[in-house]
Structure 1
Amino acid sequence: MSSRELASLRQRWTAYRDLAALTEHWYWRPGWRAGRHFYTWHLTFQEQPDLHRLVTDLQHQLQFPGLDLVPIDGLHLTMQGVGFTDEVPDGDIEAIVTEARQRCAGLPPLDLSLGPVDPDAEGIGLLVQPWSPVERVRTAIRAAIAAVWPTVPEPADGFRPHVTIAYSGAPAPTAPIRARLAELRHLPPVTATISEVSLIALHREHRTYRWSTQATAPLNGRGPRHAEAQAARGDQ
């Protein structure tokens, strides 16, 4: 584990030990309302049986009042927002997808470790490591947006890769949750290989996030130079 990831884990756990009650996660952020959808780039975790088993085990032991468990098919790593679907022109989103595919094509798949549990006031997540390859994908996505728009939404700084397994649904006391998490911190992490980043239309209803996938940008390490080398060799 790198020094950045280890420092984050320690700092957040220290803060959680001093936290008396959860902060309710489901307040409406600016611009959000029932039925509205938001374009955003995420990593998603279909067909990751090791991760699904770990999350199922953890959630079985985290059924406390005040925690809203994330459905297995709702596991995600938030990468980069774009904008509300009713405000982004179709031509712009198509251009951003084209740019993102070009930039992500040269990046290799992400081999990620997920775990141990990593809580804060609004939820319980899994530590993701290493951060650097995830940050490179996010930088590519931001560059794709910058190729279409003069300003990229959301700050470049402050990004912390994580996968949430439970959100805080009420200002419940943290003491019993904290005691259980202390028992669960020893569980070994699992690995997942992610070969694409997804543009999704996200909405939030009934205290959960759901989405439809609009496009994907493969991560296959095959940028323009790779294609040129294949053509030179006569590869199909």
Structure 2
Amino acid sequence: MPSPEWTYKHATDLRDHWWWRPGWQVGTRFYTWHITFDGQHELHRLVDTYQAELARHPGLDLIPHQWLHLTMQGVGHAADITTDQIDSLLSAAQARLAALNPVTVEFHRPVIRPEAIVLPALPPAEVDRIRTAVRASIADVLGPDAVPDQADGFQPHVTLAYSSSAQSADTIESAIESISSEPVEVSIPTASLIELHRDNRMYEWHTIAEVPIDSQANGAL
């Protein structure tokens, strides 16, 4: 099966990523499921390779290692979710994620999207297995109609840099295409339920729990 277009086709122009989405403002806190990458040193080295070049280009906000993430599945605003519901969401996710086989993906060449430069996770279907299980766990607890976002159209990626201005992507495309790199395989042992904010023009969070994927995976609630 050919790779989907979003994994290789560059956008021609960039726009500012940091506009406020509906329901968001300074102080907003949001529960969401992410894949995070603490200790993934090979991925960090790949990120550093490209960020060293991206740092030469104005209007890009580079993502530090500690905030590298793969956005997976929202849950809801913290003000709308109770502590008991969080406990139930974690129990439901633990049961569903433990039933999955281990997940490994590859990261290699960046792609310019309209608001960011990203590393696609390949094959996307591997991360989609995790997301499908997480979505089912949200439906178990909050009901099918309370699961945010659409089930299809998921584009799993790790962002290297967000655009903070409107600009042409031409010079950035030339720069990243000139870099030689080797693909990196990353195993994904856990999915993280986090409380997220973007008060500082950066996605920052604290982790509620890391839930193991596959019954043999290392991780803890």
- Superposed pair shares fold, TM > 0.5: yes
Corresponding pairs, count: 214
Question: C-alpha offsets along residues 56-84 of structure 1, whole Å, 9 cap, x if unaligned?
Answer: 12101111111100111111111100001
**Is the partner of 1:187 in helix, strand or coil?**
coil
Matches within 5 A, 1:1-236: 2-5=1-4, 7-10=5-8, 12-13=9-10, 16=11, 19=12, 21-63=13-55, 64-150=57-143, 151=145, 152-184=147-179, 186-221=180-215
Structure 1: gaps (5+ residues): 224-236
Tell me, yes or no, if the aligned pair for 1:196 and 1:216 is still in contact at 8 Å: yes
Q: Distance in 2 between matches of 1:54 and 1:171?
A: 26
CA distance in 2, matches of 1:140, 1:114: 22
What is the CA–CA distance in structure 2 between the aligned matches of 1:178 and 1:154, rounded to whole Å? Answer: 30
Q: Offset at 1:116?
A: 0.8
The offset of 1:222, in angstroms, is 5.3
Structure 2 residues without counterparts, runs of 5 or longer? none
Amino acid at match of 1:157: D
Report the TM-score, using the length of structure 2 for normalisation. 0.91
C-alpha RMSD over aligned residues: 1.6
- Larger mean CA deviation between 187-196 and 170-179 belongs to 170-179
| Runs of 4+, deviation exceeding 3 Å | none
In the superposition, the TM-score normalised over structure 1's length comes to: 0.86
Q: Secondary structure at the match of 1:134?
A: helix
Q: Highest Rg: 1 or 2?
A: 1
Q: Aligned to 1:86, what secondary structure does the other structure show?
A: helix
Given that residues 106 and 222 in structure 1 are in contact (C-alpha distance below 8 angstroms), is that contact kept between their aligned partners in structure 2? no
Q: Percent identity?
A: 41
1:138-197 CA distances to partner (integer Å, 9 max, x unpaired)?
11101101111222111111111111110001112322212112213x422211111000
Give the whole-Å Cα distance in 2 for the aligned partners of 1:146 and 1:58.
Answer: 38
